[in-house]
Structure 1
Amino acid sequence: DCIDGLAGDGVYPCSNVHYRAYLSLGEINESDQNANDIWGWKDPQTEKEYALVGLTDGVVIVDVTDAREPEYVGKLPEADLVATSKDGAVSKSSTPNIISSSAQDPRMAFHDDQDGGEGKGASAWRDIKTYQNAMYIVTDVNPRGMQVFDLEKLRNVPKSAMPVTFEHDAHYTEFGVAHNIAINEESGFAYAVGSTKGRTCASNGGLHMIDIRDRLNPVYAGCHLELEAGGYIAPGYIHDTQCVNYDGHDARYQGREICVSSAELSVLVSDVTDKENPQTVSVFEYTGNRYAHQGWFSEDKRVFFLNDELDEIRNGHNTRTYILDMTNLEELRVDSYYQHSTLSIDHNNYVVGNRLYQANYLAGLRVLDIKEPTGSAMSEIGFFDTTPSKTEIEFDGLWSVYPWFENGKIVVSDISQGLFVLEMEP
């Protein structure tokens, strides 16, 4: 437990967040790799809980049902490389087009050092989501399309066989590279963003829409490219997105499928209800913007909590979370911002009820009370620092957090450390 501000035999600074287990990179991978994204899945049949942890060469699956005794189940290696043909289609190839956007994107130099530089090795970026007991994986830098893996296979893995090397069940190759993938579980559509080398908008990294209602047979559904968004890598480039069946405060869009995208130099709101004719609702640029990275709606969709990945470095202030007023989707505005006590870069954040769970690189996991979502009313109610030996403003430490398990269980991925299983009272 977190006692007197420390957890894990006095190693990790904390407050109200308890240490349960840690698996190092060496324990969940045979080769020397780094961790990136993390997601989770609970088997509705067995009620087992799994952490899905991205590495630079694949995804590892860890059974975290017993928070104190996690078990390494196996690994899904990354897919074969795919390459772009002259007509823009994507196909498998032994001599793929390796691409890198480091010249345009100011965040990528550090990660290029990790993955070999200029796309020569595996990718420092991998993104994972789940839908209907399937896992969907995309990767950046090297073009590998989208892997689909049937998580129900985990029911048949005996302990004596672990760790298992898995194979994917489908390989979607309508794009090569994608930085992130979002899934609207209500509609059954996935949205690859930051995608290149593929159909239409994929070459600029816009919203690449995929029908996954037949969960193991993804089908291209359409794209949305807004050239007024983006900025560093390409006009229209989207870094991350959240897509929902909208039931918020703007009556004009209730019942529509809406995506709110963090698009480098702007925030883009899109109506993607009609996949063949998606529409731009608004493009918003905010004061102090350096790199709109990722964000998440409050549960009532009144506000959107936005991370800017470069403002701490370039503007010289502490960690800052922007709170966007979303009551008028056609005219967004910054209501206020929450200023943290830390200097770290904020990376990914997610909302569960009245809490905002943030993975803030070298400041670790930060949990904010958002019952009153304004900068002056919000407060930090818990934290866990996975990298206490470092306090600099660097691209290291906690990459992401999955806070949706029941009973307060939280899993987080640290770039250099590995997987942590934590708990916080609900």
Structure 2
Amino acid sequence: MKKITFLLGLLITSPFFAQTPCSGGTANGFPCEGYDLQSKFVLAEMGASDGNDSWGWTDPDDGTEYALVGLDNGTAFINISDPINPIYLGKLPTHTNPSIWRDIKVYNNHAFIVSEANGHGLQVFDLTRLRNVASPPETFTEDAHLGVFGSAHNIAINEDSGYAYVVGTDEANGGPLFINIQNPLSPFMIGDYDGSGYTHDAQIIIYDGPDSDYTGKEIFFGSNANEVVIVDVTDKLNPQLISTITYGNTSYTHQGWLTEDRNYLLVGDEIDEQDFGFNTRTIVFDVSDLDNPSFHFDYFSNIASTDHNGYVVGNTFYLASYSGGMRVINISDIANQNMNEIGYFDTYPANNNANYRGSWNVYPFFVSGNIVISGEGGFTLVKESNLGINDNENFNFSMAPNPATENITITSKVAPIQSIEIYSVLGQKVMDKVVPQNVTQTINISTLKTGMYLVTINKNTTLRLVVN
């Protein structure tokens, strides 16, 4: 949600943003801590007046990374294989009219795009077309379109089931529409759920958490403006509400993301900072029992900015926090109600007030460690300071080869390896190994589909893996 937009005049020439380390608390004029500026495109360079969502795609053939950036008038595609010199490949124009709301997700090498523009429906774009762009920037055309709905606020995809969940539409009271995208170029709607009203955003997984009653079920975690809903959507023709979660000082339940162990759900309420005057708040719920979820605690930032979209990678929570930019939060001790900020990159230096200027979204799932920040500032690419070219090596573990097809070998430099878990970028656990306590362990990954995965070692270290 973005209640107010401030349209900037198009710049005749854009400022030059070179790779700049975070030094003395800034990088090329942007406040920062622990994250360096790689590169940036302002909105005018992409022919737009406003920016919004973002996502990413890693080409399974060669590991090339692409940023997908939502704009008021379409979707931009950027090759970031050279993160210091990214290439703006071009734009897929909006299906109907411009809108400040656009959302993008990826499945099976295709982008799926919705917007609140009237009559927009679902655009489908074949991302493999980005491999051979002769004369960038190009104006692209959509490869498929589904028009069973018009406007929509958001789209979430469960890559493990091949279903897209379109939410905030002009159908089903704004509840999720269930779209089969297993053949990306022939999407079709199979059902919907309107039992809890309007859904603003959602995460959907094949459940692999601690509540054994729902193991293997497809579970929908929806942020529904004034509450969180948990719904069993395994049967698309007969979805079942499991439970709802309410909390104090509610203004607008906006978006949530699960921890990788599925014990906790981190939720942002978009308007509470403005309505109640406290600093940026993340509400943490204990969802280890899906039938009886409970409030765990509130985490408050040290600034007052409005929170928007947040995602979990291992023990780190990456939060797009509008005027506060990207905030990076350690959640390794979340069970004991402890979270602490460990870094940030602020794309809106003017202030950290509770408003809608600055960063709309952050995409932290690339294997390279590059992180996309999108919003009013256009496209910004950052990376953790002093992170090596290959972040599959850190102080304690290394992993090779990467990309990989058949096997990976993980080597510990300190403690023995006890467990290895592999997750999809949307948090679905696809492999769980309890291993002999050796310093080297080889894992067969031949059963994994092509794409990007997160490998968590000993419950405390997460590395990124590309499977060819």
Task: Indicate the TM-score class for this superposition, using the shorter chain for normalisation.
Answer: 0.7 to 0.9
Partner of 2:46: 28
Distance in 1, Cα, partners of 2:182 & 2:74? 25
Partner of 2:211: 250
Partner of 2:247: 286
Partner of 1:220: 189
Partner of 1:104: none
Alignment of 1:198-277 (within 5 A): 202-226=171-195, 229=196, 236-277=197-238
Measured after TM superposition, the shift of residue 125 of structure 1 is: 0.4
What CA deviation, in whole Å up to 9, does each residue of 1:82-138 have, x standing for no partner? xxxxxxxxxxxxxxxxxxxxxxxxxxxxxxxxxxxxxxx621100000000000000
CA contact (8 A) 1:128 1:181 kept: yes
Match for residue 385 of structure 1 among 339, 346, 354: 346
Distance in 2, Cα, partners of 1:377 & 1:393? 24
Distance in 1, Cα, partners of 2:354 & 2:335? 25
CA contact (8 A) 1:286 1:333 kept: no
Please list every run of 5 or more consecutive structure 2 residues that lacks an aligned counterpart in the other structure.
Answer: 1-20, 392-468
Distance in 2, Cα, partners of 1:380 & 1:287? 23
Measured after TM superposition, the shift of residue 333 of structure 1 is: 1.2
Distance in 2, Cα, partners of 1:203 & 1:273? 18
Distance in 2, Cα, partners of 1:179 & 1:373? 30
Please tell me whether residue 339 in structure 1 is matched to residue 300 in structure 2. yes
Partner of 2:25: 5
Partner of 2:106: 130
Measured after TM superposition, the shift of residue 376 of structure 1 is: 4.3
CA contact (8 A) 2:268 2:282 kept: yes
Match for residue 70 of structure 1 among 86, 104, 109: 86
Distance in 2, Cα, partners of 1:12 & 1:375? 33
SS in 2 for 1:421: strand
Moved more, 146-155 or 386-395: 386-395
Measured after TM superposition, the shift of residue 203 of structure 1 is: 4.0
Percent identical: 43
Measured after TM superposition, the shift of residue 156 of structure 1 is: 2.0
What CA deviation, in whole Å up to 9, does each residue of 1:229-263 have, x standing for no partner? 3xxxxxx0000000000001111111100000000
CA contact (8 A) 1:337 1:375 kept: no
Please tell me whether residue 325 in structure 1 is matched to residue 286 in structure 2. yes
Distance in 2, Cα, partners of 1:418 & 1:351? 23
Partner letter of residue 344 of structure 1? S
User: Normalized per residue, which structure has more strand?
Assistant: 2
What CA deviation, in whole Å up to 9, does each residue of 1:308-346 have, x standing for no partner? 001101111000001110011112211011110010010
Distance in 1, Cα, partners of 2:280 & 2:112? 31
Partner of 1:45: 61
Partner of 1:110: none
Partner letter of residue 308 of structure 2? H
Alignment of 1:407-422 (within 5 A): 407-415=368-376, 417-422=377-382
Match for residue 164 of structure 2 among 166, 187, 190: 190
Please list every run of 5 or more consecutive structure 1 residues that lacks an aligned counterpart in the other structure.
Answer: 81-120, 197-201, 230-235
Match for residue 163 of structure 1 among 116, 130, 137: 137
Distance in 1, Cα, partners of 2:250 & 2:209? 25
What CA deviation, in whole Å up to 9, does each residue of 1:277-310 have, x standing for no partner? 1111112211111110001000111000000001
Distance in 1, Cα, partners of 2:81 & 2:323? 27
Distance in 1, Cα, partners of 2:27 & 2:335? 30
SS in 1 for 2:334: coil
Partner of 1:150: 126
CA contact (8 A) 1:72 1:162 kept: yes
Measured after TM superposition, the shift of residue 359 of structure 1 is: 0.1
CA contact (8 A) 2:318 2:327 kept: yes
CA contact (8 A) 2:306 2:353 kept: no
Measured after TM superposition, the shift of residue 374 of structure 1 is: 4.9
CA contact (8 A) 1:296 1:351 kept: yes
Measured after TM superposition, the shift of residue 377 of structure 1 is: 1.6
Q: Which has the higher contact order (CA 8 A, sep 6+)?
A: 1
Distance in 2, Cα, partners of 1:18 & 1:374? 30
CA contact (8 A) 1:338 1:374 kept: no
- Shift in CA distance, 376/271, structure 1 to aligned 2, threshold 3 Å: closer
Distance in 2, Cα, partners of 1:342 & 1:182? 29
SS in 2 for 1:154: helix
CA contact (8 A) 1:369 1:379 kept: yes
Partner of 1:172: 146
CA contact (8 A) 2:172 2:194 kept: no
What CA deviation, in whole Å up to 9, does each residue of 1:144-173 have, x standing for no partner? 100000001111212xx1101100011101
Number of equivalent positions: 366
Partner of 2:331: 370
Partner of 1:16: 34
Alignment of 1:67-146 (within 5 A): 67-80=83-96, 122-146=98-122
CA contact (8 A) 2:101 2:115 kept: yes
CA contact (8 A) 1:338 1:375 kept: no
Where in structure 1 do 4 or more consecutive aligned residues deviate above 2 Å? none
CA contact (8 A) 1:25 1:35 kept: yes
- Shift in CA distance, 375/168, structure 1 to aligned 2, threshold 3 Å: farther
Distance in 2, Cα, partners of 1:144 & 1:269? 28
CA contact (8 A) 1:336 1:374 kept: no
Partner letter of residue 373 of structure 2? V
CA contact (8 A) 1:323 1:374 kept: no
Distance in 2, Cα, partners of 1:143 & 1:252? 40
Measured after TM superposition, the shift of residue 216 of structure 1 is: 1.3
Q: Given the two structures, how large is their TM-score scaled by the length of structure 2?
A: 0.77
SS in 2 for 1:327: coil
Partner of 2:364: 403
